[in-house]
A = this chain, B = another copy of it.
Amino acid sequence: MDRHKALVFAYTKTALTPPKELGSVVIRLKKYSNTLRDALEDSRYTRGESSVHLPFDKTIARAVEDMVAATVSRGLKYVIVIGIGGSNLGARAVYEALYGKNGARVPLGKPQLLFLDTADPHLYEAVNRELKAHVKHTGEVLINLISKSGNTTESVANFEVLYAELKRRLGTALRNRVVVTTDEGSALWNAAQAHRFKTLSMPRQVGGRFLMFSAVGLFPLAAVGIDIATLLKGARDITPACMSADVHKNFACASAGVLYVHRRKGLRTYNQFFFNPDLETLGAWSSQLMAESIGKERNDKGKIVHEGILPLVSIGSTHLHSLSQLYFGGPRLMVTTFIYAPNTAPSTRVPRTVILKHLKGIAGVPLSGIMGALYGGVKRSYQKHGLPFMELVLPALDVYSMGQYMQMKLFEIMYLAHMLGVNAFDQPNVEDYKQESRQLLQARR
C-alpha cells in the first residue's frame, strides 16, 4: 500500500462565491487548459508555463542526485545556501516545514541548512559565528551559490566574503566544496567553470519563482538528506487534479476563480492564514509567486492597469492576538485561505491546571488540541461574520504535502494570471531600483 495515496487536500469552502459565477469563469479556461497540457509535456521548457513539467523531469532529478553523490559524505555539517527570492525561498520553505525555523528540530548529527540572503552584516556574522564554532575542515561544509541571472549583488557579495573567510581557515580545497546553480552560459556559469567550481543549471525560460522543482530548490534539500523523490511525487500526484475540468476536483482552478471573482469586486488582499507556525516561509514562497506574477503595471495587451493582489501571511494563533481585530472589524477587501496540518506529532498534554482552574477545557488537552480549537473557533467566527475564506487541510507536515501544495500553487497562479489578463512570467518593474543601486555603488569608487 502506498501510504501517500491518502494525502489529499481536504475540501474547498467557496460558499461565499456563488457557484454559478465561478462556473462561468472556469468555462472560459478551456483554451488555456490546452496551453497547460502542452506545457506539461514540454521537456525543453520553451515557455513560462513549462515549470509544471519539472516534477516529471528525470534528467534534472538525476543531475541533482549525482551532485549529491559527488559532494555529500558522512561528515557534512552545514550546507550554506547563498541566494535570495526565488533562489532560496522554496528550499527554505520545505526545510522549515519539516524541521522548524532555523532548523530547530533537525535531528542531532544531521546536516543543517544555513541561509544567506540579503547583504546584512548581522546575518553574515550569525552564519559565520556558527561555522567558526563547528567547522574545522572542508568536508564539513558545502556552499551552494544560487543566482539565475548570475549577477545578484547580494548573493555575489555574500559568496565572496564567505568564500574568502572559509578559504583562509580551511585552505584551497574549499574549491571542491562549492556548487554554483545558475543559468547555463551566464557570466556566473562561466566564472564558475573557470574556477573549476561544480555547476548545476536550470531551464532558462522559467522564471526564478517557478523553479522550486529544479536544481534550485531540490539540491539544497537533497544535500541535507531530505527525500526529494517523495517531494516530486507529491507534485506529480496532484497534477491531474490541477488539470481537471471539474472545478470541485481542481483546487488550483477553484481557488484562482474565487480570487478572480472577488478581485473584480474590489479584493485587495489575499491572506494565507497558516495554523502551523513552521509554514511561515512556505507563505513567503507563495507570496512571491503571487506578488511577482499578478502585480503588473500593464496587462497582456500593454494597457496600464496596475493590477495586483497583496499576498499576506498570517500565523495562527499568533496573529489573532495582533491583527485579527483588523481582519474582523476592518475593510472587507480580503479573501482568506486557512491552511492547517492538524496531524503533527503527538504533543504534551496540559496537566491538571496549576494556576487557572477556571479556564475550563484546557486540562488534559494536548497543545495541538488547543491549536485545533482556536482554528475551529476562528473558522466559525469567519463564517458568522460573512468573511470569505477557503480551507486547505494538509494531512501532514511532510515533503509529500509540500510537493502537492507547491505544484498546486504554481497552477493556481497561472490560472489567476490568465483570468486577470496579465503575464504571469515577467517582472518588468524591478530593474529600475537595481540600476539605481548599481550607480550608487559605482559612485562610491
Contact = CB atoms under 8 A, between A and B. Distances in A.
B160 A350 contact: yes
A244 to B, nearest CB: 29
7 contacts: A119-B374, A121-B371, A151-B358, A153-B370, A188-B356, A287-B323, A380-B436
A361 to B, nearest CB: 3
B351 A160 contact: yes
A86 B385 contact: no
A429 B307 contact: no
A158 to B, nearest CB: 8
Given A153-B370, A277-B120, A160 B362 contact: yes
B374 A153 contact: yes
Interface in A147-202: 150-154, 156-161, 163-165, 187-188, 191-192, 195, 197
A357 B154 CA distance: 15
Interface string A421-443: 00000011110111111111110
A310 B308 contact: no
A329 B122 contact: no
Given A292-B322, A437-B374, A159 B351 contact: no
A124 interface: yes
How many copies of the shown chain assemble into the complex? Answer: 2
Interface stretch (A28-36, A58-66, A100-108): A100-108
A354 interface: yes
A433 B119 contact: no
Given A188-B356, A331-B307, A430-B324, A436 B381 contact: yes
A85 B323 CA distance: 9
Nearest to A194: B355
A359 interface: yes
Contacts of A187: 356, 358
Contacts of A205: none
A333 interface: yes
B321 A306 contact: no
A374 B433 CA distance: 8
A335 interface: no
B428 A368 contact: no
Nearest to A320: B433
Interface stretch (A213-221, A311-319, A388-396, A409-417): A311-319
Contacts of A23: none
Contacts of A437: 373-374, 376-378
A332 interface: yes
A119 B317 contact: yes
Interface stretch (A9-17, A42-50, A250-258, A340-348): A340-348
Contact of A356 (B150, B291, B350, B355): B150
A191 to B, nearest CB: 4
Contacts of A156: 353, 355-356, 359, 362
Nearest to A310: B269
Contact of A355 (B121, B188, B369): B188
Given A322-B288, A328-B430, A430-B320, A360 B441 contact: yes
A379 to B, nearest CB: 8
A432 B84 contact: no
A354 B195 contact: yes
